[in-house]
Amino acid sequence: MSNVVNIAKNFTTLGEGPHWDDTKQRLLFVDIDESKIHRLDYKTRSFAEPITLPDPTVGAVVPREKGGLVAAASHRFLSIDEESGQIQTLATVTENVKCRFNDGKCDPRGRFWAGTMGLETAPSKFFPKQGELFSLGTDLTVTRQLVDVEISNGLAWTQDCSRMFYIDTLEYNIRCFKYDVDTGAISEPTVVVTFDKKKHGEPDGQCIDTDGNLWLAMYGTGGIVKVDTTKGEIVEKVKISDSALRTTSCCFGGPNLDELFVTSIRCSQSDLDNGIALGESGSLFKVTGLGVRGLPAVPFKG
């Protein structure tokens, strides 16, 4: 039976992009609106001083194989030296001021994939179809993979590297692409599963287990769902919290990759003004007892 533990209550404004750094046994994740990168040491259960970026937002972060971190922030890919704090631009992907980076991770060859979304014009109101999906190659070249995206979100690759799963939240589905691991090219998209917004919530970040099943954070319902990709259906649900309904993403971590870390969004001032309790919103959660393991996350190899 699964067990949910709140390991950092009300910690982030807009928590996203959890990434398990297997080499250093730590969890990386971001607070998009605060433009902060957080680092949680698994053994000591302590947080390092957050890294605050000069960009207005940060959508995703991954470790870099040769040291430091790489982040997708606002409109650019950045390299970050954790010791000196030095930040350098690796590539600027767009000049579109109506969008920002939202979520990303590395593919099996160490390319950094990250997508954008339209900026909010009001709570839950976005500039439509401003998003794109990009990949940063190990040679630091940027490839535009998709356009006309609403909210670029979860990415995952199968263990045999033949398929890539992708979520554009407002499409309310998971798409599967044929994947060429040598070139990083995607093709032949098909829909794996479609969600009902009222029943399931909005699909957000995702990860994959060793059985090839996907685990998704469902924004708006405070839960995680497991999707059998061969059947194309939800086969398990895990309630994270009744008061942290805006769950945003998840990843497997821990020494055995059998613990699921889940990020969420804290209630806004307008929420509080409308009588919604802060509760556990904005917390970082850990789920154990799922009976599955995840695949090791890949660092950026450029």
Strand partners, 4: 287
The active-site residue, picked from 204, 211, 242, 271, is 204
DSSP secondary structure, the chain, as one string = --EEEEEETT--SBEEEEEEETTTTEEEEEETTTTEEEEEETTTTEEPPPEEPSSS---EEEEBTTSSEEEEETTEEEEE-TTT--EEEEEE----TTEEEEEEEE-TTS-EEEEEEEPEEETTEE-TT-EEEEEE-TTS-EEEEEEEESBEEEEEE-TTSSEEEEEEGGG-EEEEEEEETTTTEEEEEEEEEE--HHHH-EEEEEEEBTTS-EEEEEETTTEEEEEETTTTEEEEEEE--TT--BEEEEEEESTTS-EEEEEEBPPPHHHHHTT---TTTT-EEEEE--S--BPPPPPB--
Q: Is 204 a catalytic residue?
A: yes
Catalytic positions, please? Answer: 204
